[in-house]
């Protein structure tokens, strides 16, 4: 369905002479996503999708897990498109503003306010690339063949490369997009090498066929056929390296802070969420189907131990290096690395409870990160009416596309907009894992499950890094509430606010973060059901 609408939009753009705008295409994209969301939800029959439904000769396999996360992907992209489908702020001048004040005294500041429209409002292809991204991520979720996995992950990756480099007049955005493209291509090489080794030794690319080869380790492991499992698991090691590269897990994380900080904030949201959701779900499937072979020493140290090492490094590096950051998007990049460490900790345990914790942590990661970046965008919009004499703030590059770049720009923001300040503080508390917010329950579930399965060292590291990481989250809260504001309002009678749809979206997401403790049953039951289905399929 999405592909059909995508072709129609492409023909409309290529064959029509109408001066279509980016906002028009974004609104059409929202309608496409909304219709796809309804269709996906109405086909979510868990009873019939229990064991999965194969499509196109096994290239794709539809399960309840893939359907649920496809719904989350559609919701995330719909929210992001809504940010560019409606002007993010209302602009009007009060009746008390005189014509002389507007045209002569402060005309320069007023023109700056009017011109501060992010470049995504002038790029027609913006919505088309996001729909390409949805197509790649949705197909990757359901991929049941190594060939379709590689093609879908490249479709998703190239959509992110293109959207990162769309802001052609931005030197930092172009440089970050080039870095992302080169290192993402390197990660794809690892994935392709692993796929090639499996195909060269088995002649198979279908995942079901590969799982059947290694399903009975005792039958195949002997002196003459020991390589049958060795090449499969060494190939899985290469594929896992590529996946860890793509999601920015340590020690393959070095591209992440630079790319997060260089691209516009609205693009950072896509990289932080859409670049990771489908791969994390695919990793769950790979670990589950190969978990019966963990007792073999050769296989163990070549496959799941790589995830354990990455978990250990992600927890430490994401926490320690985050303490030194002064730029907010770089700090959120290291925060993401730390969160990936918690996800990997749940993934390597291999139990129904750990899979429930893993799925729940992915969902709360989506909610809190989306909320954090949208609040940063909203704060940037609200500061268009204010000026400061601090040259460091005034000389920041790419202020139109990334208004908030430094943590110090948030000093005293509570006095400017108490509601947005409270929303950001709630999100930071959730990141830190403070009860009763949703982030606390995510970490609590992961650590409890790991402790029950004798992962004591990793649990201890997780607790320590969670406590240490709370420092830089609370530093942001302290900056907002207790530091003195360095901004002054440009106009007395000019008012600027974010759009209604932006306000409603932020309100709903923050309500979900805060009120989870009051109505936890629905989300917990969903995660429990998906974990049981995943655990029982193999």
Q: What is the 3 state secondary structure string of 420-443?
A: HHHHHHHHHHHHHCCCCCHHHHHH
Tokens of 363: 């969902």
Tell me what pLDDT residue 270 has.
93
Tell me what pLDDT residue 104 has.
44
Tokens of 84: 């560019």
How many C-beta atoms surround the C-beta of residue 177 within 10 A?
Answer: 24
In angstroms, how far apart are the furthest CA atoms of the chain? 91
Q: Quick one: CA torsion of 45, 47, 49, 53, rounded to 10 degrees?
A: -110
CA angle centred on 72, ends 71 and 73, rounded to 5°: 90
Q: What is the DSSP string of 354-400?
A: HHHHHHHHHHHHHHHHHHHHHHHHHHHHHGGGEE---HHHHT-TTTT
Residue 181 DSSP symbol? H
Q: How many domains does the chain have?
A: 1
Does residue 102 lie in a domain region?
no
Q: Which of these, 475, 461, 328, lies nearest to 403 by C-alpha position?
A: 328
| Burial state string for 92-116 with b = 16 or more CB within 10 A and e = fewer than 16 | eeeeebeeebeeeebeebbeebeeb
Does residue 365 lie in a domain region?
yes
Helices vs. strands in the chain: H and E counts, helices first: 24, 6
* Mean pLDDT on 299-325: 84
Q: Which of these, 439, 378, 365, 431, lies nearest to 404 by C-alpha position?
A: 378
Per-residue CA distances from 27 to 21, 31, 86, 128, 273 (Å): 10, 6, 8, 11, 21
Does residue 105 lie in a domain region?
no
Write down the residue that tokens 């790589």 correspond to. 306
Tell me what pLDDT residue 90 has.
45
Give phi and psi for 64, each to the nearest 5: -65, -35
Q: Residue 478 pLDDT > 90, yes or no?
A: yes
Does residue 109 lie in a domain region?
no
Tell me what pLDDT residue 186 has.
95
* Mean pLDDT on 67-86: 87
* Mean pLDDT on 483-512: 74
* Mean pLDDT on 422-440: 93
**Distance separating alpha carbons of residues 33 and 449, to the nearest angstrom:** 36
Residues in the chain: 538
Q: Which of these, 205, 109, 142, lies nearest to 2 by C-alpha position?
A: 142
Tell me what pLDDT residue 128 has.
86
Residue 291 DSSP symbol? G
Tokens of 452: 């029950």
Does residue 325 lie in a domain region?
yes
Tokens of 53: 């439904």
Tell me: the pLDDT tens digits for 233-291? 788 889 999 999 999 998 999 999 999 999 988 899 999 999 999 999 999 988 887 76
Helix/strand/coil percent split, the chain, to 5:
75, 5, 20
pLDDT band with cut points at 50, 70 and 90 for residue 532 = confident
**Distance separating alpha carbons of residues 126 and 162, to the nearest angstrom:** 9
**Distance separating alpha carbons of residues 88 and 85, to the nearest angstrom:** 9
Residue 484 DSSP symbol? P
Strand, coil or helix: 538: coil
Burial class of residue 250 (count of CB atoms within 10 Å of its CB; 0-12, 13-18, 19+)? buried
Tokens of 187: 């990660």
When mean pLDDT is compared across 217-231, 261-275, 421-435, 455-469, the lowest value belongs to 217-231
Q: Residue 504 pLDDT > 60, yes or no?
A: yes
- Angle between helix axes 22-42 and 64-85 (nearest 10 degrees) is 160
* Mean pLDDT on 158-187: 90
- Structural domain that includes position 410: 2-92+125-537
Strand duo 89-93 + 60-62: pairing: unpaired
Tell me what pLDDT residue 20 has.
59
Tell me what pLDDT residue 496 has.
54
Q: Residue 439 pLDDT > 50, yes or no?
A: yes
Tell me what pLDDT residue 224 has.
45
Does residue 107 lie in a domain region?
no
Write down the residue that tokens 């989300």 correspond to. 523
Tell me what pLDDT residue 63 has.
86
Burial class of residue 28 (count of CB atoms within 10 Å of its CB; 0-12, 13-18, 19+)? buried
Does residue 104 lie in a domain region?
no
Q: Residue 531 pLDDT > 70, yes or no?
A: yes
- Residues in CB range of 309: below 8 A, 6 or more apart: none
* Mean pLDDT on 456-475: 94
CA angle centred on 453, ends 448 and 458, rounded to 5°: 70
Does residue 118 lie in a domain region?
no
How many C-beta atoms surround the C-beta of residue 200 within 10 A?
Answer: 10
When mean pLDDT is compared across 150-159, 212-221, 474-483, 525-534, the lowest value belongs to 212-221
């Amino acid at each position: 369905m999405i592909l059909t609408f995508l072709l129609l939009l492409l023909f409309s753009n290529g064959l029509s002479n109408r001066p279509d705008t980016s906002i028009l295409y974004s609104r059409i994209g929202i309608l496409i996503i909304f219709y796809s969301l309804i269709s996906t939800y109405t086909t979510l029959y868990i009873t019939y999708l229990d064991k999965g439904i194969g499509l196109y000769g096994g290239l794709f396999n539809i399960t309840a897990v893939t359907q649920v996360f496809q719904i989350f992907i559609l919701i995330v992209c719909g929210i992001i498109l809504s940010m560019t489908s409606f002007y993010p702020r209302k602009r009007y001048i009060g009746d008390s503003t005189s014509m002389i004040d507007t045209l002569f005294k402060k005309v320069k500041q007023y023109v700056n306010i009017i011109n501060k429209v992010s470049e995504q409002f002038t790029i027609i292809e913006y919505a088309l690339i996001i729909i390409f991204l949805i197509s790649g991520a949705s197909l990757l979720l359901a991929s049941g063949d190594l060939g379709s996995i590689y093609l879908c992950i490249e479709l998703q990756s190239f959509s992110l490369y293109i959207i990162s480099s769309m802001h052609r007049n931005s030197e930092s955005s172009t440089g970050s997009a080039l870095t992302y493209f080169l290192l993402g291509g390197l990660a794809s090489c690892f994935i392709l090498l692993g796929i090639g080794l499996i195909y060269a030794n088995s002649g198979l690319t279908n995942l079901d066929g590969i799982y059947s080869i290694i399903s009975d380790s005792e039958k195949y492991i002997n002196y003459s056929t020991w390589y049958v499992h060795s090449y499969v698991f060494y190939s899985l090691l290469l594929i896992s390296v590529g996946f860890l590269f793509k999601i920015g897990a340590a020690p393959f994380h070095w591209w992440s802070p630079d790319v997060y900080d260089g691209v516009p904030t609205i693009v950072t949201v896509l990289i932080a969420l859409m670049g990771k959701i489908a791969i994390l779900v695919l990793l769950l499937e790979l670990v589950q189907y190969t978990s019966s072979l963990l007792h073999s020493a050769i296989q163990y140290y070549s496959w799941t131990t790589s995830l354990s090492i990455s978990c250990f490094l992600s927890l430490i590096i994401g926490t320690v290096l985050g303490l030194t950051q002064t730029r907010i998007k770089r700090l959120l990049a290291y925060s993401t690395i730390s969160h990936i460490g918690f996800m990997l900790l749940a993934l390597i345990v291999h139990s129904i409870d750990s899979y429930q914790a893993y799925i729940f942590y992915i969902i709360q990661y989506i909610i809190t990160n989306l909320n954090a970046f949208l609040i940063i965008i909203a704060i940037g919009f609200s500061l268009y009416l204010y000026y400061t004499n601090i040259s460091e703030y005034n000389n920041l590059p790419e202020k139109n596309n990334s208004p908030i770049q430094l943590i110090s720009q948030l000093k005293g923001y509570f006095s400017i907009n108490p509601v947005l300040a409270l929303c950001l503080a709630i999100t930071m508390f959730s990141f830190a894992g403070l009860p009763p917010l949703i982030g606390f329950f995510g970490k609590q579930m992961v650590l409890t499950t790991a402790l029950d399965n004798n992962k004591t060292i990793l649990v201890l590291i997780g607790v320590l890094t969670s406590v240490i990481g709370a420092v830089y989250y609370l530093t942001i809260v302290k900056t907002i509430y207790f530091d003195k504001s360095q901004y002054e309002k440009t106009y007395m009678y000019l008012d600027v606010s974010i759009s209604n749809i932006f306000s409603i979206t932020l309100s709903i997401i923050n309500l979900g973060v805060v009120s989870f403790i009051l109505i936890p049953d629905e989300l917990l039951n969903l995660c429990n059901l998906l974990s049981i289905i995943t655990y029982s399929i193999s």
